[in-house]
Amino acid sequence: MKNSLVKYAVCGLLALAVAGAPTQMFGQEKKKDAPAPEKKEPAAGEKKKGSPPIRGKIGAVDKTAKTVTIGQTTIQITSETKIQKGGKEATLDDAAVGEDAMAMVNKSDDGKVTARRLQIGPRPEGEGKKGGKKKQKE
């Protein structure tokens, strides 16, 4: 009888240990995550991203200064600017006064507007309002 009582006691303690183990893990403190980094404003002269596109007619093209004026905005063209005309690669030489244009730009704190992308002429056929392809009806 004493032997079976010891067996029940050991089994009971073992069952409590197994049942209590997961609850101890939940009671432990979690390490605090590092605080999210604060959004930093770009330093003076750095480019700000996310400027809305500039659309309108080309008012002037200065090939020596590498600028294009769309509406009232003069836009600097750099070697990294991707220029397209009619859906194909183009150069600043292909731009003409009076053509429709759209420029994706970066604006800096000092007021400089630099083009990331310049699209000359009407939108290529098949492109929707947001630049995606239109779905064709079958």
Tell me the per-residue pLDDT of 95-127, one tens digit each, with 9 for 90 and over: 999 999 999 999 888 888 999 999 998 776 665
Q: Which residues are paired to 60 by β-bridges?
A: 69
Tell me the per-residue pLDDT of 33-57, one tens digit each, with 9 for 90 and over: 666 665 555 555 554 556 788 999 9
Look at residue 138 in the predicted model and tell me its pLDDT: 46
Determine the Cα–Cα distance for residues 49 and 47; give it in Å rounded to an integer. Answer: 6
The residue whose two tokens read 């429709």 is: 100
User: Residue 133 pLDDT more than 80?
Assistant: no
Mean pLDDT of all residues in 64-90: 91
Name the residue ranges covered by the structural domains of the chain.
47-120
What is the pTM (predicted TM-score) of this model? 0.55
What architecture does CATH give domain 47-120? Beta Barrel (2.40)
